[in-house]
Structure 1
Protein backbone atom coordinates (compact mmCIF):
# COMPACT_ATOMS: atom_id res chain seq x y z
CA UNK A 1 0.00 0.00 0.00
CA UNK A 2 2.79 2.41 0.95
CA UNK A 3 4.68 1.54 -2.24
CA UNK A 4 1.53 2.19 -4.28
CA UNK A 5 1.20 5.63 -2.67
CA UNK A 6 4.81 6.47 -3.47
CA UNK A 7 4.39 5.27 -7.06
CA UNK A 8 1.23 7.36 -7.42
CA UNK A 9 3.06 10.47 -6.21
CA UNK A 10 5.93 9.83 -8.62
CA UNK A 11 3.46 9.66 -11.49
CA UNK A 12 1.98 13.07 -10.66
CA UNK A 13 2.95 16.06 -12.74
CA UNK A 14 4.63 19.00 -11.06
CA UNK A 15 1.35 20.91 -11.13
CA UNK A 16 -0.64 18.00 -9.66
CA UNK A 17 1.87 17.56 -6.83
CA UNK A 18 1.65 21.25 -6.00
CA UNK A 19 -2.15 21.13 -6.09
CA UNK A 20 -2.19 18.18 -3.69
CA UNK A 21 0.16 19.99 -1.32
CA UNK A 22 -2.06 23.08 -1.21
CA UNK A 23 -5.18 20.90 -0.87
CA UNK A 24 -3.64 18.96 2.02
CA UNK A 25 -2.71 22.14 3.86
CA UNK A 26 -6.22 23.52 3.30
CA UNK A 27 -7.67 20.35 4.83
CA UNK A 28 -5.34 20.57 7.85
CA UNK A 29 -6.22 24.25 8.33
CA UNK A 30 -9.92 23.47 8.03
CA UNK A 31 -9.63 20.69 10.61
CA UNK A 32 -7.76 22.99 12.96
CA UNK A 33 -10.45 25.66 12.67
CA UNK A 34 -13.37 23.25 13.10
CA UNK A 35 -11.90 21.23 15.97
CA UNK A 36 -10.43 24.31 17.62
CA UNK A 37 -13.77 26.11 17.56
CA UNK A 38 -15.15 23.40 19.88
CA UNK A 39 -12.14 23.16 22.19
CA UNK A 40 -10.98 26.74 22.64
CA UNK A 41 -12.48 29.79 24.22
CA UNK A 42 -11.32 33.04 22.65
CA UNK A 43 -9.07 33.81 25.62
CA UNK A 44 -7.51 30.32 25.68
CA UNK A 45 -6.86 30.56 21.93
CA UNK A 46 -5.19 33.93 22.31
CA UNK A 47 -3.00 32.54 25.09
CA UNK A 48 -1.05 30.23 22.75
CA UNK A 49 -0.02 33.15 20.49
CA UNK A 50 2.68 35.22 22.17
CA UNK A 51 4.44 37.63 19.85
CA UNK A 52 7.72 37.67 21.76
CA UNK A 53 10.30 38.17 19.01
CA UNK A 54 13.25 37.31 21.22
CA UNK A 55 11.62 34.05 22.36
CA UNK A 56 10.56 33.16 18.82
CA UNK A 57 14.02 33.74 17.37
CA UNK A 58 15.97 32.29 20.29
CA UNK A 59 13.97 29.15 21.03
CA UNK A 60 12.42 28.61 17.61
CA UNK A 61 15.73 29.28 15.85
CA UNK A 62 17.67 27.17 18.34
CA UNK A 63 15.23 24.29 17.96
CA UNK A 64 15.57 24.47 14.17
CA UNK A 65 19.39 24.64 14.28
CA UNK A 66 19.55 21.44 16.34
CA UNK A 67 17.33 19.62 13.82
CA UNK A 68 19.23 20.98 10.82
CA UNK A 69 22.58 20.02 12.33
CA UNK A 70 21.37 16.44 12.80
CA UNK A 71 19.86 16.36 9.29
CA UNK A 72 23.06 17.56 7.65
CA UNK A 73 25.13 15.04 9.63
CA UNK A 74 22.80 12.27 8.44
CA UNK A 75 23.08 13.47 4.84
CA UNK A 76 26.85 13.57 5.12
CA UNK A 77 27.51 10.22 6.76
CA UNK A 78 24.50 7.93 6.18
CA UNK A 79 23.96 6.09 2.88
CA UNK A 80 21.63 8.10 0.63
CA UNK A 81 19.06 5.31 0.33
CA UNK A 82 18.54 5.43 4.11
CA UNK A 83 16.99 8.90 3.95
CA UNK A 84 15.68 9.00 0.38
CA UNK A 85 11.94 9.80 0.45
CA UNK A 86 11.39 8.56 -3.09
CA UNK A 87 12.17 11.92 -4.64
CA UNK A 88 8.95 13.57 -3.49
CA UNK A 89 10.53 16.58 -1.79
CA UNK A 90 13.05 16.95 -4.60
CA UNK A 91 10.28 16.98 -7.17
CA UNK A 92 8.34 19.51 -5.13
CA UNK A 93 11.12 22.02 -4.48
CA UNK A 94 13.88 21.62 -7.06
CA UNK A 95 12.50 24.07 -9.63
CA UNK A 96 10.58 26.42 -7.34
CA UNK A 97 11.61 30.04 -7.03
CA UNK A 98 12.95 31.10 -3.64
CA UNK A 99 9.86 33.28 -2.91
CA UNK A 100 7.57 30.34 -3.76
CA UNK A 101 9.59 28.05 -1.48
CA UNK A 102 9.23 30.66 1.25
CA UNK A 103 5.44 30.75 0.81
CA UNK A 104 5.10 26.96 0.67
CA UNK A 105 7.21 26.27 3.75
CA UNK A 106 5.55 29.08 5.71
CA UNK A 107 2.11 27.69 4.80
CA UNK A 108 3.10 24.13 5.75
CA UNK A 109 4.59 25.26 9.07
CA UNK A 110 1.55 27.38 9.98
CA UNK A 111 -1.13 24.82 9.09
CA UNK A 112 0.61 21.79 10.58
CA UNK A 113 1.67 23.51 13.81
CA UNK A 114 -1.77 25.05 14.30
CA UNK A 115 -3.42 21.63 14.07
CA UNK A 116 -0.87 19.35 15.73
CA UNK A 117 0.61 21.62 18.38
CA UNK A 118 -1.98 24.36 18.78
CA UNK A 119 -5.14 22.24 18.75
CA UNK A 120 -4.26 18.58 19.34
CA UNK A 121 -1.29 18.88 21.70
CA UNK A 122 -2.87 21.68 23.72
CA UNK A 123 -5.90 19.52 24.45
CA UNK A 124 -4.71 15.89 24.10
CA UNK A 125 -1.03 16.10 25.00
CA UNK A 126 2.38 15.62 23.41
CA UNK A 127 2.21 11.87 22.85
CA UNK A 128 -1.13 11.94 21.04
CA UNK A 129 -0.15 14.89 18.82
CA UNK A 130 3.22 13.38 17.91
CA UNK A 131 1.73 9.95 17.22
CA UNK A 132 -0.89 11.37 14.85
CA UNK A 133 1.77 13.51 13.14
CA UNK A 134 3.95 10.41 12.64
CA UNK A 135 1.03 8.38 11.26
CA UNK A 136 0.42 11.03 8.62
CA UNK A 137 3.98 10.35 7.43
CA UNK A 138 3.37 6.61 7.18
CA UNK A 139 4.90 6.59 3.69
CA UNK A 140 8.28 6.79 5.47
CA UNK A 141 7.74 3.43 7.21
CA UNK A 142 9.79 1.68 4.54
CA UNK A 143 12.66 4.02 5.40
CA UNK A 144 13.30 3.44 9.09
CA UNK A 145 15.76 6.32 9.44
CA UNK A 146 13.30 8.76 7.86
CA UNK A 147 10.43 7.55 10.00
CA UNK A 148 12.56 7.75 13.15
CA UNK A 149 13.60 11.27 12.15
CA UNK A 150 9.97 12.36 11.66
CA UNK A 151 8.87 10.88 15.00
CA UNK A 152 11.86 12.43 16.80
CA UNK A 153 11.22 15.77 15.12
CA UNK A 154 7.59 15.77 16.20
CA UNK A 155 8.46 14.98 19.82
CA UNK A 156 11.28 17.54 19.83
CA UNK A 157 9.10 20.37 18.47
CA UNK A 158 6.28 19.23 20.74
CA UNK A 159 8.58 19.42 23.76
CA UNK A 160 9.60 22.95 22.77
CA UNK A 161 5.92 23.87 22.61
CA UNK A 162 5.35 22.29 26.05
CA UNK A 163 8.20 24.37 27.39
CA UNK A 164 7.32 27.72 25.81
CA UNK A 165 3.51 27.44 25.39
CA UNK A 166 4.01 29.69 22.38
CA UNK A 167 2.81 28.49 19.00
CA UNK A 168 4.83 31.13 17.14
CA UNK A 169 8.01 29.46 18.42
CA UNK A 170 7.18 26.08 16.86
CA UNK A 171 5.80 27.64 13.67
CA UNK A 172 9.09 29.50 13.19
CA UNK A 173 11.15 26.38 14.00
CA UNK A 174 9.12 24.24 11.58
CA UNK A 175 9.33 26.91 8.89
CA UNK A 176 13.08 27.38 9.25
CA UNK A 177 13.76 23.63 9.04
CA UNK A 178 11.63 23.16 5.93
CA UNK A 179 12.86 26.36 4.26
CA UNK A 180 16.56 25.56 4.67
CA UNK A 181 16.16 21.95 3.52
CA UNK A 182 14.04 23.03 0.54
CA UNK A 183 16.67 25.61 -0.44
CA UNK A 184 19.32 22.88 -0.27
CA UNK A 185 17.25 20.71 -2.63
CA UNK A 186 16.93 23.62 -5.05
CA UNK A 187 20.62 24.53 -4.78
CA UNK A 188 21.76 20.92 -5.34
CA UNK A 189 19.48 20.60 -8.37
CA UNK A 190 20.67 23.88 -9.93
CA UNK A 191 24.31 22.99 -9.28
CA UNK A 192 23.83 19.52 -10.79
CA UNK A 193 22.16 21.02 -13.87
CA UNK A 194 25.05 23.46 -14.29
CA UNK A 195 27.63 20.68 -14.02
CA UNK A 196 25.78 18.60 -16.63
CA UNK A 197 25.55 21.64 -18.90
CA UNK A 198 29.29 22.28 -18.58
CA UNK A 199 30.11 18.65 -19.32
CA UNK A 200 27.93 18.56 -22.43
CA UNK A 201 29.32 21.80 -23.87
Structure 2
Protein backbone atom coordinates (compact mmCIF):
# COMPACT_ATOMS: atom_id res chain seq x y z
CA UNK A 1 0.00 0.00 0.00
CA UNK A 2 1.43 3.38 -0.92
CA UNK A 3 1.88 6.15 1.62
CA UNK A 4 -0.92 8.29 0.25
CA UNK A 5 -3.47 5.46 0.42
CA UNK A 6 -2.41 4.76 4.00
CA UNK A 7 -2.89 8.42 4.97
CA UNK A 8 -6.33 8.45 3.34
CA UNK A 9 -7.35 5.31 5.25
CA UNK A 10 -6.30 6.91 8.54
CA UNK A 11 -8.34 10.07 7.93
CA UNK A 12 -11.96 10.36 8.98
CA UNK A 13 -14.63 11.34 6.44
CA UNK A 14 -14.89 14.68 8.21
CA UNK A 15 -11.12 15.30 7.85
CA UNK A 16 -11.24 14.42 4.15
CA UNK A 17 -14.12 16.82 3.51
CA UNK A 18 -12.50 19.52 5.63
CA UNK A 19 -9.28 19.22 3.58
CA UNK A 20 -11.29 19.40 0.36
CA UNK A 21 -13.13 22.54 1.44
CA UNK A 22 -9.96 24.18 2.77
CA UNK A 23 -8.04 23.59 -0.48
CA UNK A 24 -10.92 24.96 -2.55
CA UNK A 25 -11.15 28.03 -0.29
CA UNK A 26 -7.40 28.57 -0.68
CA UNK A 27 -7.77 28.42 -4.48
CA UNK A 28 -10.59 30.95 -4.44
CA UNK A 29 -8.69 33.29 -2.11
CA UNK A 30 -5.60 32.93 -4.30
CA UNK A 31 -7.70 33.80 -7.35
CA UNK A 32 -9.03 36.90 -5.61
CA UNK A 33 -5.55 38.02 -4.48
CA UNK A 34 -3.97 37.43 -7.90
CA UNK A 35 -6.94 39.06 -9.60
CA UNK A 36 -6.49 42.13 -7.39
CA UNK A 37 -2.91 42.52 -8.62
CA UNK A 38 -3.27 41.36 -12.22
CA UNK A 39 -6.67 42.60 -13.33
CA UNK A 40 -6.88 46.36 -13.86
CA UNK A 41 -10.59 46.50 -14.57
CA UNK A 42 -12.88 44.02 -12.82
CA UNK A 43 -15.51 44.51 -15.50
CA UNK A 44 -13.22 42.62 -17.92
CA UNK A 45 -13.19 39.71 -15.46
CA UNK A 46 -16.99 39.65 -15.15
CA UNK A 47 -17.32 39.81 -18.94
CA UNK A 48 -15.85 36.28 -19.02
CA UNK A 49 -19.11 34.98 -17.52
CA UNK A 50 -21.59 34.85 -20.40
CA UNK A 51 -24.91 33.04 -20.29
CA UNK A 52 -24.81 31.29 -23.66
CA UNK A 53 -26.78 28.01 -23.46
CA UNK A 54 -25.40 26.73 -26.77
CA UNK A 55 -21.80 27.10 -25.62
CA UNK A 56 -22.43 25.98 -22.05
CA UNK A 57 -24.80 23.06 -22.57
CA UNK A 58 -23.88 21.74 -26.00
CA UNK A 59 -20.17 22.44 -26.28
CA UNK A 60 -19.30 22.17 -22.58
CA UNK A 61 -21.83 19.42 -21.93
CA UNK A 62 -20.75 17.49 -25.02
CA UNK A 63 -17.11 17.55 -23.95
CA UNK A 64 -18.12 16.53 -20.41
CA UNK A 65 -20.15 13.56 -21.69
CA UNK A 66 -17.21 12.45 -23.82
CA UNK A 67 -14.82 12.63 -20.83
CA UNK A 68 -17.34 10.79 -18.61
CA UNK A 69 -17.76 7.97 -21.15
CA UNK A 70 -13.97 7.58 -21.52
CA UNK A 71 -13.52 7.58 -17.74
CA UNK A 72 -16.26 4.96 -17.26
CA UNK A 73 -14.80 2.76 -20.00
CA UNK A 74 -11.37 2.99 -18.36
CA UNK A 75 -12.92 2.10 -15.00
CA UNK A 76 -14.76 -0.91 -16.45
CA UNK A 77 -12.10 -2.35 -18.75
CA UNK A 78 -8.65 -1.38 -17.50
CA UNK A 79 -6.84 -2.98 -14.57
CA UNK A 80 -7.94 -1.38 -11.29
CA UNK A 81 -4.37 -0.49 -10.32
CA UNK A 82 -4.22 1.78 -13.39
CA UNK A 83 -7.30 3.78 -12.36
CA UNK A 84 -7.03 3.66 -8.56
CA UNK A 85 -6.33 7.12 -7.13
CA UNK A 86 -5.47 5.82 -3.68
CA UNK A 87 -9.08 5.85 -2.55
CA UNK A 88 -9.50 9.62 -2.36
CA UNK A 89 -12.43 9.93 -4.75
CA UNK A 90 -14.10 6.91 -3.14
CA UNK A 91 -13.79 8.50 0.30
CA UNK A 92 -15.03 11.87 -0.93
CA UNK A 93 -18.10 10.64 -2.81
CA UNK A 94 -19.14 7.13 -1.71
CA UNK A 95 -21.08 8.11 1.43
CA UNK A 96 -22.49 11.43 0.22
CA UNK A 97 -26.05 12.13 -0.85
CA UNK A 98 -26.89 13.60 -4.25
CA UNK A 99 -27.14 17.17 -2.97
CA UNK A 100 -23.74 16.97 -1.25
CA UNK A 101 -22.12 15.57 -4.41
CA UNK A 102 -23.74 18.42 -6.35
CA UNK A 103 -22.34 20.94 -3.84
CA UNK A 104 -18.82 19.45 -3.91
CA UNK A 105 -18.78 19.40 -7.72
CA UNK A 106 -20.02 23.00 -7.85
CA UNK A 107 -17.49 24.32 -5.34
CA UNK A 108 -14.56 22.50 -6.98
CA UNK A 109 -15.48 23.50 -10.54
CA UNK A 110 -16.09 27.16 -9.70
CA UNK A 111 -12.98 27.68 -7.53
CA UNK A 112 -10.58 25.76 -9.79
CA UNK A 113 -11.83 27.24 -13.07
CA UNK A 114 -11.83 30.81 -11.75
CA UNK A 115 -8.23 30.37 -10.60
CA UNK A 116 -6.79 28.34 -13.47
CA UNK A 117 -8.77 29.66 -16.44
CA UNK A 118 -10.10 33.04 -15.32
CA UNK A 119 -6.95 34.30 -13.60
CA UNK A 120 -3.89 32.21 -14.46
CA UNK A 121 -4.68 31.37 -18.09
CA UNK A 122 -5.49 34.99 -18.91
CA UNK A 123 -2.21 36.12 -17.36
CA UNK A 124 0.37 33.36 -17.96
CA UNK A 125 -1.20 31.51 -20.89
CA UNK A 126 -2.87 28.21 -21.67
CA UNK A 127 0.18 25.95 -21.40
CA UNK A 128 1.47 27.11 -18.00
CA UNK A 129 -2.02 27.35 -16.46
CA UNK A 130 -2.91 23.88 -17.73
CA UNK A 131 0.31 22.36 -16.42
CA UNK A 132 -0.23 23.99 -13.02
CA UNK A 133 -3.78 22.61 -12.94
CA UNK A 134 -2.48 19.13 -13.70
CA UNK A 135 0.21 19.45 -11.03
CA UNK A 136 -2.27 20.26 -8.26
CA UNK A 137 -3.57 16.77 -8.89
CA UNK A 138 -0.19 15.50 -7.67
CA UNK A 139 -1.79 12.39 -6.21
CA UNK A 140 -1.84 11.13 -9.80
CA UNK A 141 1.91 11.54 -10.38
CA UNK A 142 2.58 7.90 -9.53
CA UNK A 143 -0.25 6.76 -11.83
CA UNK A 144 0.72 7.48 -15.46
CA UNK A 145 -2.79 6.98 -16.88
CA UNK A 146 -4.48 9.18 -14.27
CA UNK A 147 -1.86 11.90 -14.59
CA UNK A 148 -2.13 11.83 -18.39
CA UNK A 149 -5.91 12.14 -18.06
CA UNK A 150 -5.49 15.13 -15.70
CA UNK A 151 -3.10 16.83 -18.15
CA UNK A 152 -5.38 16.19 -21.15
CA UNK A 153 -8.47 17.35 -19.25
CA UNK A 154 -6.64 20.48 -18.12
CA UNK A 155 -5.74 21.38 -21.70
CA UNK A 156 -9.28 20.58 -22.88
CA UNK A 157 -10.76 22.91 -20.25
CA UNK A 158 -8.22 25.58 -21.18
CA UNK A 159 -8.99 25.22 -24.88
CA UNK A 160 -12.73 25.45 -24.17
CA UNK A 161 -12.08 28.76 -22.47
CA UNK A 162 -9.79 29.95 -25.28
CA UNK A 163 -12.35 29.06 -27.96
CA UNK A 164 -15.42 30.46 -26.23
CA UNK A 165 -13.93 33.24 -24.07
CA UNK A 166 -16.65 32.19 -21.65
CA UNK A 167 -15.66 30.96 -18.19
CA UNK A 168 -19.07 29.33 -17.70
CA UNK A 169 -18.20 26.73 -20.35
CA UNK A 170 -15.20 25.12 -18.56
CA UNK A 171 -16.97 25.59 -15.21
CA UNK A 172 -20.00 23.64 -16.46
CA UNK A 173 -17.83 20.99 -18.13
CA UNK A 174 -15.76 20.51 -14.96
CA UNK A 175 -18.91 20.49 -12.80
CA UNK A 176 -20.72 17.92 -14.94
CA UNK A 177 -17.71 15.57 -15.01
CA UNK A 178 -17.24 15.73 -11.23
CA UNK A 179 -20.97 15.48 -10.49
CA UNK A 180 -21.69 12.50 -12.73
CA UNK A 181 -18.54 10.60 -11.74
CA UNK A 182 -19.25 11.41 -8.08
CA UNK A 183 -22.75 9.94 -8.50
CA UNK A 184 -21.24 6.89 -10.18
CA UNK A 185 -18.90 6.33 -7.23
CA UNK A 186 -21.78 6.75 -4.77
CA UNK A 187 -24.05 4.33 -6.67
CA UNK A 188 -21.26 1.77 -7.11
CA UNK A 189 -20.41 1.93 -3.39
CA UNK A 190 -24.04 1.46 -2.38
CA UNK A 191 -24.46 -1.42 -4.81
CA UNK A 192 -21.33 -3.14 -3.44
CA UNK A 193 -22.60 -2.74 0.15
CA UNK A 194 -25.92 -4.48 -0.52
Q: TM-score, normalised by structure 2?
A: 0.95
Shift of 1:5: 4.0
CA distance in 2, matches of 1:75, 1:5: 20
Specify the alignment match of 1:106 in structure 2: 106
How many pairs were matched up? Answer: 192
Instruction: Tell me the residue number matched to 2:23.
Output: 24
Bigger-Rg structure (1/2): 1
Is 2:34 aligned against 1:35?
Answer: yes
Matches within 5 A, 1:76-95: 76-95=76-95
Does residue 1:70 correspond to 2:70, yes or no? yes
Instruction: Give the superposition deviation at 1:54.
Output: 2.5
Distance apart, 1:43 and its partner CA:
2.3
Match of 1:144 in 2: 144
Query: Counterpart of 1:183?
Result: 183
SS of residue in 1 equivalent to 2:50: coil
8 Å contact kept, 1:63–1:157: no
Contact 2:8-2:86 within 8 A present in 1 as well: no
Structure 2: distance between partners of 1:6 and 1:132? 23
CA contact (8 A) 2:5 2:87 kept: no
Deviations 1:37-95 (A, max 9, x none): 11121221122111112221111101101211211221122111101001111011101
Alignment correspondent of 2:115: 115
Write the distance in 1 (CA, Å) between the matches of 2:84 and 2:28: 28
CA distance in 2, matches of 1:147, 1:138: 8
Whole-angstrom distance in 2 between the partners of 1:6 and 1:118:
32
User: How far does the alpha carbon of each residue in 1:124-161 deviate from its partner, in whole angstroms, 9 at most, with x for none?
Assistant: 11101111111111121111100111011101111111
Distance of 1:28 and 1:170 partners within structure 2: 16
* Equivalent in the alignment of 1:161: 161
Find the aligned partners of 1:175 and 1:75 in 2 and give their Cα distance: 19
Aligned alpha-carbon RMSD (Å): 1.1
Unaligned runs of at least 5 residues, structure 2:
none
